[in-house]
C-alpha cells in the first residue's frame, strides 16, 4: 500500500471515529434526558434553587447546576453540557495523533454500548461530573503538550479550570489536580529543572487559587438547622470505630466509656451486629445504635478513633482492607448501587421542584439493559484498572509529548482509587467511575494510533 492510500484511509478513519463518538453523544441524550436523579441529585437541585445548604456534600455541585437550571428548568441542560464536555474531549483525541486506525472506530462503538457511557452520562451525580472534568482537563493538557513550543495558553487555561472545579466537586479530587501539575511539570522538563518546577508549582498555585475563589463563591449563606458540617469526618470515624471492633472483638471503647459508660457499652455490644463491609448505612438501621453514635461527644469520638488507629492498627487495617476490597471489586454488585434510572427522592422536595417522578417505560428498559452487564467484566472496576495499566505500559514505550498527559490521567485515576483505602464508607459503583472513564479514554487514545505500529 502506498503512502497516499494509507493517508486517505487514515483520514477516513478519523472522520468515522468522530462521527461514531458524536453519534454516541446524541444517543446518550436521547436515551436519558432530562436526566436520572437519586436522593443526592434531588438535594443538589434543591440547593441550586433555594441557596440553602441541605447536605454536607461539596456545595460547588449545586453552584454549577444553578445556571443551567435557571436557563432551562430541570437538569436536562446540565446533563447535556456535562456529557458534551466528555464526548467532545473524546472526539478531540483524534487530533493528538498524526493518523487513526479503524480499531478506534470499532472500539468507540463498543464502548458507547457500555452502561458507564450510555446510562451514567445521563445521571445527575457529582461523581460523573468529576470524572468528565478530569478527562477534559487531561485531554486539554495533552493538546497543550503536543503544541508546547507554541505556548498554547487556551488549552492550559481550560485544563486548570477543569482541575480546579474537579478538586471541589469531590473531596479527594485534589489528587487529580496534583497529577495534572506533575504532568505539566514533566511536559516542561525540556526547559530545565527550574522551568519544570515553575510550571508544576505554578499550575498548583493558579488552580488552587481558582478553587479557593470558586469555593468561596459557591458557599451558601443558609443551611438547614440540623446540618452538621463535620458530618463527613464523624461518619468516617463511626465506621472505622465500629469496623475495627467487628474485626477484633477484644477491642474496647475505653475513651468513649469514660465520657459516657452506657453509650460506650451499647456501641461495643452492637458493633458486630450492625457492621457491614458494603456500606456505612447499616449503622443507622437501629435507632438506639444510631443515636448512641451521634450523641457521643465529638471530642470523645475523635479521641477514640485516633486511639484505634494508633494503638489498634491491625484491627483498623483489617477493616479498611475489607471495605477497600468491596469498593474496588464490588463482590455483590446489587448492594453497591450499580445504576440509577428515573427520579427518586423525598416526595415533598420533588413536589416543590415540579419534577416528573418515578421510573417510566424507557427508564425500565435502561435498567434492564444495564442489568445484562452485571457480573460481567464490563461492569467491573478491576477490568478497567487492567485496561488502564495496559494503556500505561504501551504509552511508556512511545513516550510522545501528548502520551505523558494521558499517562497522567491514568496514573491520577489509580491514585484516586487508592485514596478510598482510607476514606471509603460504601461500595457504590459510582465512586470509582473515574477509573472506568479514564481507562476508556486511554484505550481509545491507544487504539487511534497504537504504539509500535509499523510506520509510527
| C-alpha–C-alpha distance, residues 9 and 7, integer Å | 5
Residue with cell 504509552: 395
Domain termination site, one of 253, 281, 311:
311
CB atoms within 10 A of CB 287: 8
Condensed to tens digits (0 to 9), the pLDDT of residues 132-144 reads 999 999 999 999 9
Q: Are both 108 and 189 inside the same structural domain?
A: yes
For residue 289, the model assigns a pLDDT of 96
Domain termination site, one of 281, 311, 341:
311
Angle at alpha carbon of residue 312, lines to 309 and 317, rounded to 5°: 65
Record the pTM.
0.95
| C-alpha–C-alpha distance, residues 193 and 349, integer Å | 55
Q: Is 190 exposed, middle or buried (0-12, 13-18, 19+ CB in 10 A)?
A: exposed
Q: Are both 49 and 88 inside the same structural domain?
A: yes
For residue 456, the model assigns a pLDDT of 47
For 346: left if phi > 0, alpha if psi spans -120 to 50, otherwise beta; the answer is beta
| Cβ proximity of 300 and 255 under 8 Å | yes
> Per the domain annotation, does 17 fall within a domain?
yes
> Per the domain annotation, does 332 fall within a domain?
no
For residue 7, the model assigns a pLDDT of 61
Based on the structure, what is the number of domains in the chain? 2
**In this structure, what C-alpha cell is assigned to residue 327?**
469498593
Domain termination site, one of 285, 311, 337:
311
> Per the domain annotation, does 226 fall within a domain?
no
| C-alpha–C-alpha distance, residues 92 and 14, integer Å | 10
Give me the domain span that covers residue 361.
3-219+351-448
pLDDT tens per residue across all 456 residues of the chain: 455 555 666 789 999 999 999 999 999 999 999 999 999 999 999 999 999 988 888 899 999 999 999 999 999 999 999 999 999 999 999 999 988 899 999 999 999 999 999 999 999 999 999 999 999 999 999 999 999 988 899 999 999 999 999 999 998 999 999 999 999 999 999 889 999 999 999 999 999 999 999 999 999 888 887 778 788 999 999 999 999 999 999 999 999 999 999 999 999 999 999 999 999 999 999 999 999 999 999 999 999 999 999 999 999 999 999 999 999 999 999 999 999 999 998 888 888 898 888 889 999 999 999 999 999 999 999 999 999 999 999 999 999 999 999 999 999 999 999 999 999 999 999 999 999 999 999 999 999 999 876 544
| C-alpha–C-alpha distance, residues 392 and 298, integer Å | 44
Amino acid at each position: 500500500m502506498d503512502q497516499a492510500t494509507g493517508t486517505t484511509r487514515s483520514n477516513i478513519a478519523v472522520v468515522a471515529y468522530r462521527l461514531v463518538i458524536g453519534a454516541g453523544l446524541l444517543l446518550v441524550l436521547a436515551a436519558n434526558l432530562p436526566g436520572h436523579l437519586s436522593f443526592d441529585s434531588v438535594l443538589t437541585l434543591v440547593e441550586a434553587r433555594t441557596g440553602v445548604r441541605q447536605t454536607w456534600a461539596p456545595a460547588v455541585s449545586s453552584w454549577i447546576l444553578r445556571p443551567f437550571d435557571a436557563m432551562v428548568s430541570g437538569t436536562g441542560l446540565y446533563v447535556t453540557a456535562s456529557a458534551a464536555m466528555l464526548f467532545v474531549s473524546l472526539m478531540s483525541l483524534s487530533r493528538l495523533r498524526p493518523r487513526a486506525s479503524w480499531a478506534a472506530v470499532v472500539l468507540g462503538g463498543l464502548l458507547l454500548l457500555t452502561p458507564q457511557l450510555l446510562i451514567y452520562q445521563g445521571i445527575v451525580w457529582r461523581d460523573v461530573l468529576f470524572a468528565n472534568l478530569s478527562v477534559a482537563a487531561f485531554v486539554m493538557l495533552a493538546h497543550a503538550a503536543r503544541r508546547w513550543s507554541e505556548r498554547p495558553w487556551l488549552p492550559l487555561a481550560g485544563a486548570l479550570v477543569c482541575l480546579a472545579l474537579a478538586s471541589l466537586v469531590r473531596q479527594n479530587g485534589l489528587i487529580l489536580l496534583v497529577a495534572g501539575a506533575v504532568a505539566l511539570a514533566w511536559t516542561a522538563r525540556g526547559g530545565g529543572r527550574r522551568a519544570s518546577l515553575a510550571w508544576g508549582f505554578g499550575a498548583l498555585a493558579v488552580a488552587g487559587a481558582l478553587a479557593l475563589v470558586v469555593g468561596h463563591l459557591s458557599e451558601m449563606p443558609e443551611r438547614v438547622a440540623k446540618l452538621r458540617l463535620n458530618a463527613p469526618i464523624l461518619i468516617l470515624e463511626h465506621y472505622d470505630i465500629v469496623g475495627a471492633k467487628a474485626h477484633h472483638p477484644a477491642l474496647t471503647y475505653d475513651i468513649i466509656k469514660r465520657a459516657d459508660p452506657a453509650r460506650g457499652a451499647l456501641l461495643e455490644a452492637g458493633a458486630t451486629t450492625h457492621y457491614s463491609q458494603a456500606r456505612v448505612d447499616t449503622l443507622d438501621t437501629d435507632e438506639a445504635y444510631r443515636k448512641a453514635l451521634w450523641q457521643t461527644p465529638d471530642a470523645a469520638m475523635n479521641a477514640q478513633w485516633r486511639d484505634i488507629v494508633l494503638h489498634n492498627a491491625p484491627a483498623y487495617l483489617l477493616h479498611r482492607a475489607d471495605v477497600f476490597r468491596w469498593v474496588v471489586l464490588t463482590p455483590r454488585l446489587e448492594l453497591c448501587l450499580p445504576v440509577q434510572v428515573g427520579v427518586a427522592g423525598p416526595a415533598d422536595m420533588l413536589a416543590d421542584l415540579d419534577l416528573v417522578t418515578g421510573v417510566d417505560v424507557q427508564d425500565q428498559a435502561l435498567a434492564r439493559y444495564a442489568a445484562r452487564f452485571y457480573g460481567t467484566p464490563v461492569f467491573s472496576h478491576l477490568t478497567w484498572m487492567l485496561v488502564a495499566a495496559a494503556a500505561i505500559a504501551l504509552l511508556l514505550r512511545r513516550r510522545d509529548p501528548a502520551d505523558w498527559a494521558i499517562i497522567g490521567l491514568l496514573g491520577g485515576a489509580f491514585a484516586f482509587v487508592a485514596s478510598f483505602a482510607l476514606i471509603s464508607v460504601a461500595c457504590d459503583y459510582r465512586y470509582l467511575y473515574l477509573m472506568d472513564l479514564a481507562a476508556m479514554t486511554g484505550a481509545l487514545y491507544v487504539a487511534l494510533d497504537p504504539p509500535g505500529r509499523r510506520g509510527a
